[in-house]
Each structure stands twice: as structure tokens, then as C-alpha cells.
Amino acid sequence: MSLEIRIAASSDASAACNVLRRSISECCVLDHKNDPAILDAWLGNKTPQMVANWFSSPTNYSLVAVDGEDVVGVALLTGAGKLALCYLLPEARSKGAGKALLAKVEEQAFSWGVKALQLHSTATGEAFFAHHGYIHSGKVRSPYGVETIFFWKQLDVQPGEPDAKDGKRKRFCNCNPV
């Protein structure tokens, strides 16, 4: 795999839409359980035009993972510090594309001054985000009927800095845990 992570262009929208639709349909069976109503709701806004709109929004930071000429992954960070998308083609999983996308998103969020990155993960993605230092903070039902896991990761404190006492991080609201 000759992987390149780059800013998504509107010309990537169709390929990125394919990544989203295939990833959800094929990789997230644990979440949607092949329920047509859930799949229709989840995939409803995953159109090339909608993806192009997301990519062109000035408040979003959108990336694609490209292997050769093929878009194999997509990630989107909102200006509010939410990882809204992080999906891979089924055949691109476990080859470093997800890790590379996540690292670039975290770099961008940190450069924007985002204190903590947050996301709603599928059960399928839960182990991936936990492995990369995200903290499980409860479950949330998505608008399309899937139970998601709320994760967050503090970005503004590096290990060894004064606020990183005992290796524990503050909560994303910047309040000290009880």
C-alpha cells in the first residue's frame, strides 16, 4: 500500500461517498444488523453532492487516504473539534490508513487550539479509538437508530507537562475529575 493522506477536494466526493457507503454497509454489520430501515437512514445523506458540500465547508477539515489512484479512506473534523467521519474501505482496514487519518486530524485539531477531540463511534470502531487513547464516556443513540459510543481525547496536555499529573487527564470540559 502506497498511502498518501491529503486534503479532500470536491473531485474526491464521489469516491469518498463510495468509501462511506461501503464501510457502513460492509464493516458496520455489528451496528446496523442488516436492518434495512437503519441502513437507509444511515446512508441517506451519504451522497456525492452531500459529501462535496461537507468537503467545501470552510469550518470542516476533510481528508482522504489515497492508495495509488484510489480513495480508500475519509475523515472529517469540524471546527468545533468533533471527528464527524473516519471510515475506510473494507480492504483498507488494518493497513495503517485509519491510524494515519486519525493522526492528521489530531494534528489539525491541536493546531486550531482544540482542547479535546470528541466523536461518536460505532461498536465496530470502538476498539480502534480506545487503542488510540480515546476515553469511553457513555453511549448515545444516533439519529438513524444505532447506539454509538461517545469518546473523547484531550489534546492540549502532553505527557510530562504539569497538568498531566499521575498520567491522568482532565475531562474534556476542563473540569477536574472527582
Rounded average pLDDT over 90-119: 94
- pLDDT, tens digit (0-9, with 9 covering 90-100), for 89-98: 999 998 999 9
Pick from 52-61, 95-104, 125-134, 137-146: least confident = 137-146
**53: region left, alpha or beta (phi > 0 left; psi from -120 to 50 alpha):** alpha
* Mean pLDDT value of segment 129-146: 91
C-alpha–C-alpha distance, residues 82 and 153, integer Å: 11
Tell me what pLDDT residue 158 has. Answer: 54
Give the whole-angstrom CA distance, residue 70 versus residue 127: 26
Average pLDDT, the chain: 88
Read off the C-alpha cell for 59: 469550518
Distances, alpha carbon 126 to alpha carbons 51, 85, 96, 109, 153, in Å: 24, 14, 16, 21, 13
Give CA–CA dist 115/159, Å, rounded: 15
Task: Classify residue 124 by its DSSP letter.
Answer: T
Grid coordinates of 107: 494534528
Q: What pLDDT digit, counting tens, does each position of 29-39 carry?
A: 988 999 999 99
pLDDT of residue 1: 60
- The predicted model gives 35-44 an average pLDDT of 93
Mean pLDDT, rounded, for 79-102: 94
3-class secondary-structure state, position 84: strand
Question: What pLDDT is recorded for position 89?
Answer: 95
Q: How far is 90 from 65, CA to CA, in rounded Å?
A: 13
Confidence check: pLDDT of 167 > 60: no
Amino acid at 173: C
Extents of the domains making up the chain: 3-167
Percentage of the chain beyond pLDDT 70 is 87
pLDDT of 50 > 90? The answer is yes
If pLDDT is split at 50, 70 and 90, which confidence band does 157 have?
A: low
Half-sphere exposure of 149 (CA within 13 A, CB side): 17
CATH number belonging to domain 3-167? 3.40.630.30
How far is 167 from 161, CA to CA, in rounded Å?
10
What's the average model confidence in pLDDT over 154-167? Answer: 56
